[in-house]
Chains A and B, each alone.
Chain A
Amino acid sequence: MTISDRLGLADRLRALDDRRVQLVTRPRQWWNGLPKPVQWVAFGAFAVLLVLLPILDPPILSTPDSDFPTVLFIVGVYCLAALGLNIVVGLAGLLDLGYVGFYAVGAYSVAVFGSPSSQLATAYPWLVCVPIAIALAMVAGVVLGAPTLRLRGDYLAIVTLGFGEIVRLTALNSGVLGGAAGISDVPAPPGELADGSRLFGVIDAKPYYWLALGLIFVIVAASRNLERSRVGRAWLAIREDEDAAELMGVPTFKFKLWAFAMGAAVGGLAGAVFAGQQGFINPESFIIQLSILFLAAVVVGGAGNRLGVVVGAILVAYLPERFRELAEYRILVFGLALIVMSVFRPQGLLPSRRRAVELAARQDQVEAGVNV
């Protein structure tokens, strides 16, 4: 008997859930049934709408208490981070509780190498810093993954949780990383407007939003291709049954390490974009709660399903800005959401088809007493 059965609510909730699932799957079937050109036109229109969003500033969506384009940008950064974490958690099935660490490595790379007031004072432009940020985040992923990915399940979660904190504490206590005071004068992306002012300025956040949006499209397309490749197939096999994957000749350790490195790269990119917009970073921007929010975005949205993950990130980042009263309780609300989801709907709001079956199969095994 599961916890939900014991609560006695299970049946009603399940009926509700079935209806909601239909609400999700019907549009999906309808969409897949449309002819290709229609799909492209609709997609194009939607993309244009997204681009125009900060200009249209629609009253129901707009945020009364904070600058709407800035909110949209932050939502975009969360989407990027969630898409990266989805490679690790959703595709390869590895529980990473310290993802904020890679995000921080990315942000600090831009600050340390780009800011003229950092101790290093190399003052590289943002465009040079971004590849450095991505590379260092990947290195961090490999350094963390190499010893830990031989472990399974809970160990990995605990070690990654520690990693996230170690990165923050290192930043807090290291002079090169600016300590508690942080680093200012972080470079912004390049570009000038016709009047000679900077494209990526401090007042108007719209260009940053468009940058994030563009990167989201790139990452969505890339991870879609990745998922359908031989690597993606190997991740899927590892996630579904690691021993069986090994028996099919999948070098599981190598591919888990790849998932970690790829996820870290996207996290580092998100951090680099974030640092560029902020212009100033300190350790407080990289607290452990951020890892939990990223994970909540992936799990609540639907691990393994890119669209679900993006929706999850929007919920996690946008709702507290739209409804300011929620902001203070945001960790509480999404922490609770994580717990509720794991009991009633572990596959997320917009699940990937495979995930749903995997979880059902695991449930069967648990009930049959098979050790998994």
Chain B
Amino acid sequence: MLLEISDLVVAYGRIQALHGISLTVSEGEVVTLIGANGAGKSTTMRAISGLRPVSRGSIRFDGQDLTHVRADLRVVRGISQAPEGRGIFPGMTVMENLEMGTYARRDRGNFRADLDRVFGLFPRLQERRTQVAGTMSGGEQQMLTIGRALMARPRLLLLDEPSMGLAPKLIQQIFSIIREINTQGTTVLLVEQNAQQALSVADRAYILETGSIVKEGTGRELLGDPAIKEAYLGVA
């Protein structure tokens, strides 16, 4: 088991956002966490990355307890997140953003190879190499957050709503890139509201409702589940 979360409780002040969720991600999988606005998806991601302290429960990564490890050390261990929305460094160029992705890495030797890999996945980023990131379009910024997270060479890539605010065509493209990243050997935990696409690309999925996991199964199972269809896929 690469990632193992058990009975996780996270609170903002006195308000609990997660009421004891458990989930696992195995090496090589794409796992998706689906839920409506405010369900607690980003909170889960922030807890895994260490941006948000945990009130109860545990997070284990690769057999080791991470619950109280500092956020920057989790990156060193191999967890990298592409945050929700425009989580880029706006005043840095595309290249500088990508360089920031390697900040925690001890081996800077393979920088070129990693850069080529990211540019292979996102040719647009290569074209825009010298552009100041804050002036790029929303979709381009989204690509940049993913590319930047990949520059850390993560074992586990956390993607928080990578399709948010993108045109349908670009959404297709992002999901096929996620598949591509996975076949290149990176395990992916994907947070999405776009259930159709996410369930098609994922090996397994969890459904999160107001801070609790209400259902889990393989991507295909949940795609065929009538309750899921009604709630998340917009078909009665």
Report if A and B associate in a common complex.
Answer: yes
| Given A233-B100, A236-B89, A247 and B132 contact (CB-CB distance below 8 Å) | no
A236 to B89, CA, bound (A): 9
**CB nearest neighbor in A for B135:** A357
Question: Chain A contacts of B149 at CB under 8 A?
Answer: 247
Which residues in chain B, 149-172, are within 8 Å of chain A measured between CB atoms? Answer: 149, 152
Tell me if A143 is interfacial: C-beta within 8 Å of chain B. no
Q: Which of the four size classes fits the interface of chain B?
A: 20 to 34
Q: Which of B75, B85, B92 contacts A249 (CB 8 A)?
A: B75
Please tell me which stretch of B58-66, B76-84, B176-184 contacts chain A, meaning at least 4 of its Cβ atoms lie within 8 angstroms of it. Answer: B76-84
A360 to B104, CA, bound (A): 28
Q: Are A248 and B135 in contact (CB under 8 A)?
A: no
Question: Chain B contacts of A251 at CB under 8 A?
Answer: 70, 72
A241 to B83, CA, bound (A): 11
Tell me if A324 is interfacial: C-beta within 8 Å of chain B. no
Tell me if A355 is interfacial: C-beta within 8 Å of chain B. yes
| Given A248-B101, A248-B148, A370-B85, A357 and B90 contact (CB-CB distance below 8 Å) | yes
A360 to B134, CA, bound (A): 8
Tell me if A67 is interfacial: C-beta within 8 Å of chain B. no
Question: Chain A contacts of B132 at CB under 8 A?
Answer: 354, 357
- Nearest Cβ distance between residue A247 and chain B, in whole angstroms? 5
Tell me if A244 is interfacial: C-beta within 8 Å of chain B. yes
**CB nearest neighbor in B for A360:** B134
A146 to B40, CA, bound (A): 31
- Nearest Cβ distance between residue A361 and chain B, in whole angstroms? 4
Question: Chain A contacts of B135 at CB under 8 A?
Answer: 357
Q: Are A365 and B91 in contact (CB under 8 A)?
A: no
Q: Which of A248, A355, A361 contacts B100 (CB 8 A)?
A: A248
Tell me if A96 is interfacial: C-beta within 8 Å of chain B. no
Question: Chain B contacts of A57 at CB under 8 A?
Answer: none
**CB nearest neighbor in A for B165:** A368
Q: Are B103 and A248 in contact (CB under 8 A)?
A: yes
- Nearest Cβ distance between residue B98 and chain A, in whole angstroms? 11
Question: Chain A contacts of B104 at CB under 8 A?
Answer: 248-250
Q: Are B72 and A361 in contact (CB under 8 A)?
A: no
Tell me if A240 is interfacial: C-beta within 8 Å of chain B. yes
Q: Are A365 and B87 in contact (CB under 8 A)?
A: no
Tell me if B229 is interfacial: C-beta within 8 Å of chain A. no
A240 to B141, CA, bound (A): 15
Q: Which of A233, A353, A362 has the most CB of B within 10 A?
A: A233
Which residues in chain A, 214-230, are within 8 Å of chain B measured between CB atoms? Answer: none
Q: Which of A240, A246, A249, A370 contacts B89 (CB 8 A)?
A: A240
Q: Are A244 and B87 in contact (CB under 8 A)?
A: yes
Tell me if B211 is interfacial: C-beta within 8 Å of chain A. no
Q: Are B76 and A361 in contact (CB under 8 A)?
A: no
Tell me if B56 is interfacial: C-beta within 8 Å of chain A. no
Question: Chain B contacts of A355 at CB under 8 A?
Answer: 91
Q: Are B92 and A354 in contact (CB under 8 A)?
A: yes
Question: Chain A contacts of B49 at CB under 8 A?
Answer: 246-247
| Given A233-B100, A360-B134, A244 and B70 contact (CB-CB distance below 8 Å) | no
Q: Which of B51, B105, B148 contacts A246 (CB 8 A)?
A: B51
Can you list, as one digit per residue, whether each of A332-358 has a CB less than 8 Å from chain B (1) or not (0)?
000000000000000000000111011
Q: Are A234 and B91 in contact (CB under 8 A)?
A: no
Question: Chain A contacts of B89 at CB under 8 A?
Answer: 236-237, 240-241, 244-245
Tell me if B86 is interfacial: C-beta within 8 Å of chain A. yes
Question: Chain B contacts of A240 at CB under 8 A?
Answer: 89-92
Can you list, as one digit per residue, whether each of A248-263 has a CB less than 8 Å from chain B (1) or not (0)?
1111100000000000
Q: Are B103 and A234 in contact (CB under 8 A)?
A: yes
- Nearest Cβ distance between residue B67 and chain A, in whole angstroms? 17
Q: Which of A233, A247, A360, A361 contacts B83 (CB 8 A)?
A: A247
Question: Chain A contacts of B92 at CB under 8 A?
Answer: 236-237, 240, 354
| Given A247-B75, A250-B72, A354 and B86 contact (CB-CB distance below 8 Å) | no
Question: Chain B contacts of A354 at CB under 8 A?
Answer: 91-92, 132
Question: Chain B contacts of A360 at CB under 8 A?
Answer: 90, 134
**CB nearest neighbor in B for A241:** B89
**CB nearest neighbor in A for B76:** A249
**CB nearest neighbor in B for A353:** B91
A357 to B92, CA, bound (A): 9
- Nearest Cβ distance between residue A367 and chain B, in whole angstroms? 13
Q: Give 7 closest A-B pairs by Cβ, nearest first.
A: A249-B104, A354-B91, A249-B75, A361-B90, A361-B134, A240-B89, A251-B72
> Would you list 25 pairs from A and B whose C-beta atoms are within 8 A, ordered by A residue?
A233-B103, A236-B89, A236-B92, A237-B100, A237-B103, A240-B90, A243-B51, A244-B83, A244-B87, A244-B88, A246-B51, A247-B87, A248-B75, A248-B100, A248-B103, A249-B72, A249-B75, A249-B103, A250-B72, A354-B91, A354-B132, A357-B135, A358-B91, A370-B85, A370-B86
* A contact residues vs B (CB 8 Å cutoff): 233-234, 236-237, 240-241, 243-252, 353-355, 357-358, 360-362, 365, 370
**10 extra interface residue pairs, beta carbon distance < 8 Å, beyond A248-B101, A248-B148, A357-B91:** A233-B100, A237-B92, A244-B83, A246-B72, A247-B83, A248-B75, A250-B104, A251-B72, A252-B72, A362-B90
